[in-house]
């Protein structure tokens, strides 16, 4: 997908990622589509490559603390309303990716492969592959909820 920096590549490989990794997304698709959250192509492509991985990062980052995150959409189960409401509010289709910082925040991805932090507010880590680098290296996400409220 991208030329990762050595530091990012080390974290990805330590989590179990490989360049040819492909996981089956059918269970995540059916689980969330049953409650009205549709898995778009960007979510499927991301989850095929990174779904099920846990990034065990910590310590100081570029401009925020590096926090561990887990890329398992089922960790956002029960939060469908939050994803639906933010999708409507932002005019994007956010599909759950997992959680950040032990469940303090949720992660979602829109149709344009932009990864968002989803809470009672929303912020963007940017589009892939930069979004994953930003998450791993500790780059502050940009608030996007104020633009749409």
CATH code for position 25: 3.40.1580
- H-helix or E-strand spanning residue 121: none
Task: Answer yes or no: is 148 within a domain.
Answer: no
Q: What is the pLDDT of residues 42-80, one digit of tens each?
A: 999 999 999 999 999 999 999 999 999 999 999 999 999
- ∠ CA(19), CA(55), CA(97), 5° rounding? 85
Q: What is the Cα–Cα distance from 130 to 133, expressed in whole angstroms?
A: 5
Average pLDDT in the 75-99 region?
95
pTM score of the predicted model? 0.94
The total domain count for the chain is: 1
Range of the domain at 58: 6-143
Q: Which residues of 116-149 are buried (b: 16+ CB within 10 A; e: fewer)?
A: bbbeeebbbbbebeebbbbbbbbbebeebbeeee
Task: Supply the pLDDT for residue 84.
Answer: 95
């Amino acid at each position: 997908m991208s030329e990762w920096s050595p530091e990012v590549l080390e974290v990805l490989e330590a989590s179990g990622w490989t360049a040819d990794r492909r996981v089956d997304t059918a269970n995540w698709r059916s689980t969330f589509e049953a409650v009205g959250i549709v898995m778009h192509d960007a979510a499927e492509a991301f989850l095929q490559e990174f779904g099920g991985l846990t990034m065990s990062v910590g310590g100081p980052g570029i401009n925020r603390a590096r926090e561990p995150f887990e890329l398992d959409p089922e960790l956002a189960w029960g939060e469908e309303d939050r994803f639906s409401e933010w999708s409507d509010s932002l005019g994007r289709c956010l599909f759950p990716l997992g959680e950040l910082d032990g469940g303090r925040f949720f992660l979602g991805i829109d149709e344009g492969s932009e990864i968002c932090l989803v809470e009672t507010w929303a912020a963007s880590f940017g589009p892939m592959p930069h979004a994953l680098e930003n998450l791993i290296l500790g780059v502050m996400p940009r608030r996007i909820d104020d633009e749409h409220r």
